[in-house]
Amino acid sequence: MTVAGREGNPATRRRRGLRRPPEGGRRRGRLLAGLGVTTAALLALHRFVPNTPGRLGSLLETFLFWFGPLTALLLLCAAVRRARTALLLLLLPAGVWAVTFGPPLLSAGPPGPRELTVVQHNVADDNADPAGTARALADSGADLIALQELIAPASAVYRRELASRYPHHAVRGTVGLWSRHPLGAARALDIRPRDVTEPWQRALRAEVRTPYGEVAAYVVHLPSVRLGPGGLASARRDESARLLGGILAEEPSGRVVLAGDLNGTVEDRGLAPLTSRLAAPDRGLALSYPAALPVARIDHVLARGGRVPAIRVLPATGSDHLPVLARVALDTDT
């Protein structure tokens, strides 16, 4: 009998501790390997996922960050099953995720000499404690505070509570900007979707006279998106983003800071008219919504004529959003 024949004898295999992996284990290993390849492909090639039907591409990009924890879970399962091929293949999505989301998780450097700090917060129109929210935001010491969902009578509370430390402000519709530095001309911006007929004013532009030169500050609140049986309903948000992108394309100032509730992540292609023209933060995860269990950053501070070295969340207020605070480093030669 050949050696191969003896090895194939079940009794010999039992004596030597050799076991054929059970069929179910092999199937699970193949499943994990397949999930690894699929996850890597979606992470690396998400731009090629079609947006119809149901804004599928935007939906995928909204939750792209969470492919990292999913990959970690799959790696754990593969390790428990001792599925070596699956473990190797799952290193692909782990690597792609690390390249995409690893840098923002690193710590930022110390503040530079030409930096502004900007707080962005959707204060929520049903906020039961606007005075406490205003005081918490003022305690951040930021240079600029951008707010959305300002409605009467709470809007007057924010004006009163912020006045002593932020003497300059501009409110247009339901958005407002408070500043430690003087403000120049402020005006409302028309980014209303075509099918919205009721009064709707959710964007403004103001000139901020900072110690480092003039900055065009935008405060915006893009339309909400909804997830339903038909997919991600983001047509209105995307239309407003395109309108705002057109305004930014004509913006004469070399330095621009945009703060707002954009109702999407920076990976979402629906916000490309903005993210293609403005720099997103270099560091910081800053998941801002929903406040009780944040899964995405939809509150943003973006810049042109500078960069955003870091962004972080502030403690919860009476809103369903968390406030975020960003550092904006302005260029010297703009």
End position of a domain, from candidates 78, 105, 132: 105
- Nearest CA-CA partner of 233 in 65, 58, 109: 58
Both 94 and 202 in one domain: the answer is no
CA angle 271, 72, 272 (to 5 degrees): 5
pLDDT of 147 above 60: yes
pLDDT of 244 above 90: yes
Strands of the sheet with 144-148, listed across from one edge: 168-172, 175-179, 144-148, 115-122, 324-330, 306-313, 281-283
The overall pTM is greater than 0.95: no
Both 165 and 265 in one domain: the answer is yes
The Cβ-side half-sphere exposure at 133, using a 13 Å CA radius, reads 32
**Overall domain count for the chain:** 2
Residue 6 corresponds to which tokens in the numbers above?
Answer: 């003896």
pLDDT of 23 above 90: no
Both 121 and 175 in one domain: the answer is yes
Both 318 and 169 in one domain: the answer is yes
pLDDT of 9 above 70: no
Span 185-199, pLDDT tens digits: 999 999 999 999 888
Both 129 and 90 in one domain: the answer is no
Both 25 and 65 in one domain: the answer is yes
Span 284-300, pLDDT tens digits: 999 999 999 999 999 99
Beta strands 281-283 and 231-233, pairing class: unpaired
In a domain, 110, yes or no: no
Both 179 and 46 in one domain: the answer is no
End position of a domain, from candidates 75, 105, 135: 105
Both 170 and 248 in one domain: the answer is yes
Which helix (H) or strand (E) segment holds residue 118: the answer is strand 115-122
Span 62-76, pLDDT tens digits: 999 999 999 999 999
Both 199 and 305 in one domain: the answer is yes
End position of a domain, from candidates 105, 139, 167: 105
| 49, 294, 262, 214: CA torsion to nearest 10 | -130
What residues make up the domain containing 92? 3-105
Average pLDDT value for the chain? 91
Of residues 21 and 249, the one with the higher pLDDT is: 249
pLDDT of 13 above 90: no
